[in-house]
Amino acid sequence: MINRNRKTYQLSNQINLLILIIVALFSSIIGRLFWLQIIKGAFYRTLSDENRIRLVANPPIRGKITSAGGELLADNTLRFSLIAKTHIIPRKEWPSLLKRLSNLLEVNEDNLSRSYQNGLLNNDFSILLLSSLSNKQVLQFKEQESTFPGIEINIGLVRYYPNGNFASHILGYTQLITLDEYKKLSRKGYKIKDVIGRSGIEAAFETYLRGKWGGEMLEVDAAGNFQRSLGYQPPVAGNDLKLTLDFKLQKAAEKALDDLSAGAIVVLEPNTGAIKAMASKPGFDPNFFTKPIRTQKEYKDIFLSSQSPLLSRALNAYDPGSTWKIVTGMAGMESGKFAPNVRLQTTSCIKYGSHCFPEYNRKGWGEIGFEDAFRVSSNTFFYQIGTAVGIEQLYNSAIKLGFNNRTGIEVSAEESRGFVGNKEWASAGRGWGQPGTTPWIPEDIASASIGQAVVQVTPLQLARAYAVFANGGYLITPHLVDGGINWLSSKYKTKVNIKPTTLETIRRGLKKVVDSGTGRNLTLNLPTLPPVAGKTGTAEDSTGGADHAWFACFAPYESSEIVIVAFAQNTPGGGSVHALPMAQEILKVWHNQP
């Protein structure tokens, strides 16, 4: 009896243990199912969808860019590429198709095969075989297209600039997005094969121009085979953009730069700030950046040239020379130390520090006032004004006229702030020395008085400053796109704190420059041209190169409609010889004269 009870007890324990194991096993399974279906259900559903759904993306159409008159400046052109759709082509038929394609299109068989195999490794449903087909290749393929199932010609759009180098620094260019850019911009809808505005208007209005991607969703099975299309969403085209540029004036500006190795022209409306032309030489062809194949020489000419063709001279800073004398004249009268009718004795040179600063005619002009000092461009007159009022007053007048700061133009990322030296800058080491070792010296203020050595401005900054004297004393905001903005509002057009007598004295002096002074050749052979005011300038290049030539003007004198700044970089001979004729060409077109 005892043995039988023991056996019964042992059997009962074994059954209980088995039940416990079964319960534990089922509990584990149920728990795992609960975790997968309830806790992580959403995650695995998403993962499942990603495994069975493929997206074939279609790029957006970038918006066009036109001039104020509607002339096309940037558009999109067709580019034909050859693609293979892997869900249509049976694997066993690819070798035969490959050989026939190579013979038909006269392309390397190995290159086609390599592109195809890379596409398979990436699980691409649309593999790019050839990126750019010639017209001949397109026709050859179209004649036999029906014999190449799964092989198609894809019609894509690439950025195209119909006028080549025309306004290249304004327009800028586009390029494929970099990996670092993609990591930052993917959340905004950018794709790894996207293009992005790299400079100029293309970069400044990237979001406005680019549009949105579209695409087709394809369903595949577990083996990756195509099953069906789940829908197609067309891409959204970008917005078209109209610039303030006057096509004829821009063309005249580009032509006026033909004989120079480097230079710039800026033309703007003094009342609104609308830029009518802005040309820089040397330029570049933006189409270079969308070419499917680029030679090493082309790369060198763009990126390694000592001429720096990608640099906009209109937005880069240079020594302004005598065109800067409007600042010194303003500082003298605004300080109260010099009345508008003051007369000063000019001479062959005036000594400051260890150097005798010369009059450019080497003998002086006798006793003259502000207006005649502008007319003959006297250096020794303005030396006396600048050294008497001091650098602080000169600096403050420069700031009022917008110097030492960006202008507010849309492409400001490429714009230099320019430079106006002062005592603090000198005491801090001038950017290259130890603090306290390079103090402000008398020679500095003499140089600054005539726009040399410690002063650098951009042609656009100079045009903006001259607009103040053209429009009655307002600092405007230069712009390339109107964009529905009220550019006459106080946000964009501010009254300069300047005495009316100062304003009118400088205006009369600038008119005398053109009537009978250093700019008198401006109206030569232009008898119907309305009265013009302006200033010539010849500047030593503080970097060691040959002299720069400048000319700034506005017209008509009484009610100005146009401001022009012409700049010839490292072109010795004087502003009246080189820069003035450039401005003259613009005035001819503006005034509709042959």
pLDDT tens string 248-304: 999 999 999 999 999 999 999 999 999 999 999 999 999 999 887 777 888 888 888
- Reported residue count of the chain is 594
Mean pLDDT value across residues 181-198: 87
pLDDT at 488 over 50: yes
**Residue 560, pLDDT above cutoff 50:** yes
- The first and second tokens of residue 373, run together, are 């000092």
Give the residue among 404, 409, 402, 166 at the shortest CA–CA distance from 274: 409
Contact of 81 with 137, CB cutoff 8 Å: no
**pLDDT at residue number 533:** 98
Spatial distance between the Cα atoms of 348 and 545, rounded to a whole number of angstroms: 25
Determine what percent of the chain is predicted with pLDDT higher than 90. 59
For residue 110, what pLDDT is reported? 87
Lowest mean pLDDT among 21-25, 199-203, 304-308, 566-570: 21-25
Which tens digits make up the pLDDT trace of 460-475?
A: 999 999 999 999 999 9
Residue 508, Cβ neighbours under 10 Å: how many?
17
Q: Which amino acid is at 423?
A: K
Mean pLDDT for the chain?
88
The residue that leads in pLDDT, 439 or 125, is: 439
What Cα–Cα distance (Å) separates residue 237 from each residue in 54, 211, 492?
23, 5, 31
Can you tell me the mean pLDDT for 479-502?
Answer: 97
What gap in Å lies between CA 309 and CA 288, rounded to an integer? 13
User: What is the structure's pLDDT at 1?
Assistant: 47
Query: What mean pLDDT comes out for the span 188-213?
Result: 90
pLDDT at 523 over 60: yes
3-state secondary structure of 543: coil
Closest by CA to 549, choosing from 539, 557, 558, 563, is 539
180 compared with 244, residue with greater pLDDT: 244
For residue 429, pLDDT over 80 is answered with yes
pTM, to two decimals:
0.83
Question: Which residues are CB-contacts of 498 (< 8 A; sequence separation ≥ 6)?
Answer: 330, 334, 400, 468, 473
3-state DSSP call for residue 484? coil
Amino acid at 105: L
Rounded CA-CA distance 92/233 in Å is 33
What's the pLDDT at 49? 46
The pLDDT value given to residue 419? 95
More confident residue, 23 or 267: 267
C-alpha span between 32 and 92 (Å, rounded): 43
Contacts of residue 35, defined as CB under 8 A and 6 or more positions apart, other chains included, come to none
Tens of pLDDT, residue by residue over 69-91, are: 999 999 998 888 888 887 788 87
Q: What's the average model confidence in pLDDT over 547-557? A: 98
Note the pLDDT tens digit of each residue in 338-392: 999 999 999 999 999 889 999 989 999 999 999 999 999 999 999 999 999 999 9
Indicate if the pLDDT at residue 243 is higher than 60: yes
Instruction: For residue range 30-61, list pLDDT tens digits in order.
Output: 766 665 566 655 554 544 444 466 656 677 88
3-state SS assignment for residue 336: coil
Which residues, including other chains, have CB under 8 Å from residue 364's CB and lie 6 or more apart? 345, 346, 347, 348, 378, 380
Least confident of 129-143, 200-214, 222-236: 222-236
Buried b (16+ CB within 10 A) or exposed e, 512-525: bbbbebbbbebbee
Q: Looking at residue 192, what is its pLDDT?
A: 80
Nearest residue to 400 via CA among 489, 469, 485, 450: 469
Query: Treating both helix axes as pointing N-terminal to C-terminal, what angle do 500-516 and 459-470 enclose, rounded to 10 degrees?
Result: 110
pLDDT value of position 232: 66
Domains defined along the chain, listed by start: 55-219+227-242 (3.90.1310.10), 247-590 (3.40.710.10)
Determine phi and psi for 230, rounding to 5 degrees: -100, 0
Torsion (CA) 449, 452, 453, 455 in degrees, nearest 10: 70
Cβ contact 282:259 at 8 Å:
no
CB atoms within 10 A of CB 252: 21
DSSP-derived secondary structure letter, 236: B
